[in-house]
Chains A and B, each alone.
Chain A
Amino acid sequence: MPIPSTPAGGSAASAAAADLSRLISETSGPAEDVSPAWPITPNFPFFLMHWVTDWTVETAGMAKGKPTWLPGLVRHIVLPGCNNNRTLKNGEKATAAYDGAVMKNVRQGAQYLDPERHKLANGSKYSRKAPARSPLGQTGFYFFDAFSSPLDVLPGRKMRFRFDRPEWNRWRLHLVESGVIAPPSPQVLAETQRRHSKRAERTRALTSLDQKEYDRRVAAAAATSATYDGALVPKSKTRRASSSLSSPGRVPSPDDAEAN
């Protein structure tokens, strides 16, 4: 069963069908003993989702390093017993493990990305998995995002990953430009801009610094604030996505009162 549809007024993207059922069934019992397995504790599959108020400015991977507003994407980890994800009852469909949790998040303004539909530029899914075996013998799969690649495991150290931030940023930009994620609300951007503007003001109050350090910090804070003010706001090139933020409608003018 796909993710439940977005309530009226929701975005097209959040109503996208997504199905982790195959992944769930693979983790619900002892996994096949595949070798070689990664020396890491198995974890759970995840969706990526976007809260409509979560936008951030990034430069890595952007054309000419131009600061650009990008949507924040976080994981919805399908972990039973956590945030309404459930242990499956006998005979229950795998999607029952998470559909209630997804429904709740969608109601609160989350947009879900379907691993089958919203793929990377090279056609691969955003989530991947590898056979895993913990040092204590627990076996299963380790789920990770397509932008992370494992580093060499050093003796006595835990497994670590390198994260390809430029590629991650380019994909997030693509999601907006292709209409999967709606462009940000000007109000959301203004709140973040205001926060950075206040930081610049706070920095100007640091009068106990010597002049040279004071000038350096004030210039840096002002530059950061200006970056947020001037960052590129991506636009959808397909007009497919629409914001799930609701508008109070037309603001009445004094003339309306007089007309009554």
Chain B
Amino acid sequence: MTAITSPVTFAQTQGDLGYAYVFGEQEIRRELAESLNLVGLGLVQLVGNVANTGSDVIRIDRIGGIGYAEAMATMGTEIAPITLTGLTTGYDTVTVARHGLAKSDSYSNQIQGRRLEAKIAGMRQQVVPSWIKTMRQKVATAGAGITDVVGTSGALWTFDDELDLIAYFNETEGFQGDAITLRHPEQFTQLRESIRNEPNFQFPDITLALQGLKAGGGFADWLGLRNHASFDVTASGGDHQGFAYAPGAIGWAVGSTENVEVENAATTMFIGEFGLVIETKSDGNIATSRFDANAWFGVGTCDPSVAPQVRIRSLNT
């Protein structure tokens, strides 16, 4: 029993009647995490499903040397024979791999825990965003393997580099006019800093337009490029390895999980279009539950003869 003397103060009553802190009346706040969804934005194209095929590889074939790729021969005389011509073929492949994510919690956490997000049911709801992040990392790794490159190793990205990048696409025969970039945020900082010194952009309206080049999952379109930024862009040799490509240059394949047989089908989530299956099980002996998410998908770059693509290289500061 605590004896409270007059005047009654908060300092005296808080110990028995108050709290050290109370929780704010709002949803739990999420820590910052990049949320760029390359699939949802259509930045990578689905190329196939390996389910029931007997393989883990999708092959995408291509053909050239016909139609717009070949003009008719102009004949030298009225009876000159026409030379037979052929065509070209090739293929690209996307290989599907297995991916996994698992979490568990105790019955006690499920009973006494205050936040759904920190219980197994809430964590299970976040599997799809984890899938999206995994896909983004794969795309960033795939793009770093592109052959052609613009930008100087060990040097900051400049507006001149940006012009070279645009020229790369515009000077590629067959380019349809739509190009996407995925760069490390630092590479955009380098571009912005270079633009600051560009005399042709020293006007208020243009400066305002350039404010569109900002972080937050996506960057504005500029100079005909659809710009996006990701921290998943890889580095190699002290340089960021961003990349730019025409739609179709990067594809993904999936292994649909609809045929997978599981122990508790009623509580299992099948997301076939992502090649994803999420199972939940429990062990009463140790009073814990866990979920296991498996996903089968893969990413690959296609041949530059089908869709132009180039690496964006600049100093990793």
Residue in A56, A83, A87 whose CB lies within 8 Å of B145? A83
Instruction: Enumerate chain A residues within 8 angstroms of B160, measured Cβ to Cβ.
Output: 199, 202
Contact status of A58 and B153, CB under 8 A, knowing A81-B97, A82-B299? yes
**A75 and B234 form a contact (CB under 8 A):** yes
Asked if A133 lies at the interface with its beta carbon under 8 angstroms from chain B, I say no
Instruction: Enumerate chain A residues within 8 angstroms of B142, measured Cβ to Cβ.
Output: 82-83
**A residues 60-89 touching B (CB-CB < 8 Å):** 60, 70, 72-77, 79-87
A168 to chain B, nearest CB (A): 6
Asked if A117 lies at the interface with its beta carbon under 8 angstroms from chain B, I say no
**A208 and B199 form a contact (CB under 8 A):** yes
Asked if B125 lies at the interface with its beta carbon under 8 angstroms from chain A, I say no
Asked if B301 lies at the interface with its beta carbon under 8 angstroms from chain A, I say yes
- CB-based nearest B residue for A54: B149
Instruction: Enumerate chain B residues within 8 angstroms of A76, measured Cβ to Cβ.
Output: 145
**B residues 149-197 touching A (CB-CB < 8 Å):** 149, 152-154, 160, 163-164
Which one of B57, B97, B301 has the highest number of Cβ atoms from chain A below 10 Å of its Cβ?
B97
**A87 and B141 form a contact (CB under 8 A):** no
Instruction: Enumerate chain A residues within 8 angstroms of B98, measured Cβ to Cβ.
Output: 80-81, 87
Instruction: Enumerate chain B residues within 8 angstroms of A206, measured Cβ to Cβ.
Output: 199-200
Residue in B56, B199, B300 whose CB lies within 8 Å of A83? B300
Residue in A73, A79, A108, A202 whose CB lies within 8 Å of B147? A108
Complex: how many Å from CA A164 to CA B200?
A: 37
Taken residue by residue from 90 to 113, chain A's Cβ proximity to chain B (1 for < 8 Å, 0 otherwise) reads as 000000000010001100111000
Residue in A53, A58, A81 whose CB lies within 8 Å of B95? A81
**A163 and B316 form a contact (CB under 8 A):** yes
**B97 and A86 form a contact (CB under 8 A):** yes
**B residues 43-101 touching A (CB-CB < 8 Å):** 56-57, 93-99
A216 to chain B, nearest CB (A): 11
**A74 and B236 form a contact (CB under 8 A):** yes
**A163 and B138 form a contact (CB under 8 A):** no
Contact status of A79 and B141, CB under 8 A, knowing A56-B153, A60-B154, A108-B147? yes
- CB-based nearest A residue for B153: A56
**A84 and B300 form a contact (CB under 8 A):** yes
- CB-based nearest A residue for B134: A81
Count A-B contacts at CB 8 Å: 100
Instruction: Enumerate chain B residues within 8 angstroms of A53, measured Cβ to Cβ.
Output: 147-148
Contact status of A85 and B145, CB under 8 A, knowing A73-B237, A163-B238, A165-B238? no
Residue in B95, B145, B234, B237 whose CB lies within 8 Å of A72? B237
**B149 and A58 form a contact (CB under 8 A):** no
Complex: how many Å from CA A74 to CA B146?
A: 10
Size category of the B interface is 35 or more
- CB-based nearest B residue for A80: B97
A199 to chain B, nearest CB (A): 5
Residue in A57, A58, A81 whose CB lies within 8 Å of B299? A81
Instruction: Enumerate chain A residues within 8 angstroms of B316, measured Cβ to Cβ.
Output: 163
Asked if B144 lies at the interface with its beta carbon under 8 angstroms from chain A, I say yes
Contact status of A168 and B237, CB under 8 A, knowing A74-B145, A87-B98, A202-B160? yes
**B99 and A208 form a contact (CB under 8 A):** no
Residue in B99, B164, B238 whose CB lies within 8 Å of A195? B164
Asked if B241 lies at the interface with its beta carbon under 8 angstroms from chain A, I say yes
Complex: how many Å from CA A206 to CA B313?
A: 26
**B141 and A77 form a contact (CB under 8 A):** yes
Which one of B97, B145, B152 has the highest number of Cβ atoms from chain A below 10 Å of its Cβ?
B145
Instruction: Enumerate chain A residues within 8 angstroms of B163, measured Cβ to Cβ.
Output: 202
Complex: how many Å from CA A75 to CA B240?
A: 12
B72 to chain A, nearest CB (A): 24
A61 to chain B, nearest CB (A): 10
**A residues 110-142 touching B (CB-CB < 8 Å):** 110
- CB-based nearest A residue for B93: A84
Complex: how many Å from CA A216 to CA B24?
A: 58
Instruction: Enumerate chain A residues within 8 angstroms of B148, measured Cβ to Cβ.
Output: 53
Asked if A8 lies at the interface with its beta carbon under 8 angstroms from chain B, I say no
**B residues 202-247 touching A (CB-CB < 8 Å):** 234, 236-238, 241
**B236 and A73 form a contact (CB under 8 A):** yes
Asked if B308 lies at the interface with its beta carbon under 8 angstroms from chain A, I say no
Which one of A56, A79, A82 has the highest number of Cβ atoms from chain B below 10 Å of its Cβ?
A82
B198 to chain A, nearest CB (A): 9
Contact status of A82 and B199, CB under 8 A, knowing A54-B149, A73-B236, A147-B238? no
A238 to chain B, nearest CB (A): 24
Asked if B131 lies at the interface with its beta carbon under 8 angstroms from chain A, I say no
- CB-based nearest A residue for B252: A81
**A86 and B237 form a contact (CB under 8 A):** no
Instruction: Enumerate chain B residues within 8 angstroms of A75, measured Cβ to Cβ.
Output: 144, 234, 236
10 contacts between A and B (CB under 8 A): A57-B152, A70-B153, A73-B236, A74-B144, A74-B311, A81-B95, A84-B95, A105-B145, A195-B164, A202-B163
